[in-house]
Every structure is written in structure tokens, then in C-alpha cells.
Structure 1
Amino acid sequence: MQEQNTPDDVHATEAETHEHAPAEANHEERIAALEAALEEAKAQVLYVKAEGENIRRRASDDIDKARKFALEKFSGELLAVKDSLDAALAVENADVASYKNGVELTAKQLLSVFEKFNIAEINPLGQKFDPNKHQAISMVPAEGEPNTVLSVLQKGYALNERVLRPALVTVIQPQ
């Protein structure tokens, strides 16, 4: 037996169809808005990633430049010392006293450069032996406090209180 739709049934079915249509349209609009937001977020992520790469590259370039030119000022100061040495060697008719004076002036000029760049001399004569700053070449029996520097064979140097080269020393041997 076939069911017959009454006019009320037809109106009810149409009403149900119209009720679902706005919900489906609203749902599709929401999906489209979410897809657009997702695309925008993807674009922002790509932008942030690219910006991060640019920052990393620029920082790497800056570090490379800093390494290359870190000694530029120091080197410029040393050139003046080199010029003084070259001038001394170019003199033809000089006696030992004038050479000595020239070398002393050049040594003072070099010490001035060292001071400007925080390079300190380590000359521990008469001080307690410090293995962090001194390198003992020998220990000799002598009068005086044991483990005291008796003589300095070669001065040491420190840059900003960090040892560049330890002083080579002879130390009084404990008895």
C-alpha cells in the first residue's frame, strides 16, 4: 500500500529542508572562513620562518665580519711601531747610542699599544711561583723563600687578565 502525502506532510517536509539549508550554508561559510584563516596562518609561518633565516644569516655575517676585523685597530697601532723599526734600520750613519735610543723609543711605543689594548706584562721576579701565570724551566737551590721566582728568562703576557703566554722562570727549590 502506498502512503499518500497530505498537504500538511508536504509542508512539513519543505520546512525541514528549509531549516537544514541555512545551517548547511552557515556551515560551509564557517569552513571557508577557517580555510582562509589556515592559509593566512601558513603564510605568517612562512614569513616568520623566512625572517628568522634572514636574522640568522645577518648575525652570521656580522660574526664573520667581527672575526675578520677584530684586530683592525690593534693592527693599525702596530703599524706605527713597524714604521719606527723600519726607520731605524734605514739609518746609515748611526752610532750604537743612537740605535739604542731609537730602540728604547720603539719599545715605549709598543708598550703604549699594549696598554691601550689591555695587554699586561707578566714579570714575576721575586714573587711566589704561580703555575697559572708562570712556567718553571728549572728549580735551583738558593737562599730565599722556596717556590719564589729567582729569575725571569722570558716575560709573559696577559690580555684582559687572561694569560697569552706564561712567563718562563727559574724557581728557588725547597730544601
Structure 2
Amino acid sequence: MADDQNTEEQTPMQTEENQEAQETEQLAEAEKAPEERIAELEQALEEAKAQVLYVKAEGENIRRRSFEDIDKARKFALEKFSGELLAVKDSLDAALAVESATVESYKDGVELTAKQLLSVFEKFNIAEINPVEEKFNPNMHQAISTIESDAEPNTIVSVLQKGYTLNDRVLRPALVVVSKAK
């Protein structure tokens, strides 16, 4: 039992040594903790840098794909319209290929082709501007000349060339002759 008492009771010198050892251990832990913390922070920084690079690369890919999509849309925007016009061109070619046609058959063929073209125009929201006897509108009509007429002043007397709109936006104004007071 005497040995048990010796281990349980420490001399002041042993207590001091134990305290120094504990302090040294705590100091080592304290020195170690900032190094570990720095290592953790450096690792987190590297992960954040990798994530930023990924996001940046993804943004570049999206921008590049958007430019490609816009370029394709620009190149092929008229694809459907062009395909519809090919049928009109085919009708004209067929009419020109006929060798023994009469003027009447040519006229009938041209009328059918004109109807076919108007059908294409309707399908793609292209509308005629044929403003005979309407008031002159400088946004939709281009006056070529004015003539004295019995019609009310500033009224369209004749249309030299029809105009066209695409989705209510003027593609080409109608060329018109406008009345003026006598």
C-alpha cells in the first residue's frame, strides 16, 4: 500500500514537471491547431478556386452555345418560307417548259401561280397594301405624284405598285398617286 500512496501523492517537484509537460503539450497543440486550420483553409480555397473555374467554364460554354444557336437561327430563319417559294418557282418553270401553250393557257397558269404565291404570303403573314380610294398614310404609302381630282384632297387615286407588310410592319410602301384640290 505504500507504493499506492506514492503514486497517488506526488511531490511538488513531480507536480511541477507534470504541469510543464501539460503546458508543453498544450503549446504543441496550440501550434498545431493553426497549422491544421491553415491547411484546412488552403484546401477550402483550392476547392473554391476549382468551383469558380468550373462556373466560369460553364458560363463560357453557355455563351458559346447561345452564339451558335443565334447564328443557326439567322442562317435558317427563312428555311420554311424558302421551301414554300420553291413550289411557286416549280409552277413557273413548268409553265415555261410547255411548248405548245396558248395565251389563254399561259394566263390561267400565271393566275394559278399568283394564287399559290398569295397562299404562301398568307401563311407567313405577308399582306398586300392596295390603298385605292383611301386616305394617304405616309407610314404605309409613298406618293409618286399628285393630280387634281374630284376626289377629296389627300386621297389615293391610283396605285402604281402595291406595298406589303410583314406582321403589320411595312416591308415596302405602296407607290401611289394622290389627289389634290382643284
Normalised TM-score (structure 1): 0.91
**Which of 117, 122, 140 is matched with 1:110 structurally?**
117
Q: Alignment length, in residue pairs?
A: 170
SS at match of 1:37: helix
Is 2:60 the counterpart of 1:41? no
Separation (CA, whole Å) in 2 of partners of 1:53 and 1:64: 16
Max radius of gyration: which structure?
2
Give 1:31's match in structure 2, choosing from 17, 31, 38: 38
Secondary structure in 2 matching 1:93: coil
Quote the residue 2:82 is aligned against. 75
Q: Which amino acid aligns with 2:176?
A: V
Q: State how far apart, in whole Å, the 1-side matches of 2:138 and 2:16 are.
A: 104
The residue that corresponds to 1:162 in the other structure is 169
Structure 1: runs of 5 or more not aligned: 1-5
Distance 2:119 2:43 in 1: 67
Counterparts of residues 137-156 of structure 1 (less than 5 Å): 137-156=144-163
Q: Deviations over 1:12-38 (max 9, x none)?
A: 654443322212211111111111110
How many percent of aligned residue pairs carry the same amino acid? Answer: 73
TM-score by length of 2: 0.87
Q: Structure 1 counterpart of 2:138, which letter? A: P
**What residue number does 2:6 align with?**
none
Of residues 62, 72, 96, the one that matches 2:103 is 96
Q: Which amino acid aligns with 2:141?
A: H
1:124 pairs with 2:95: no
* Matched position secondary structure for 2:165: strand
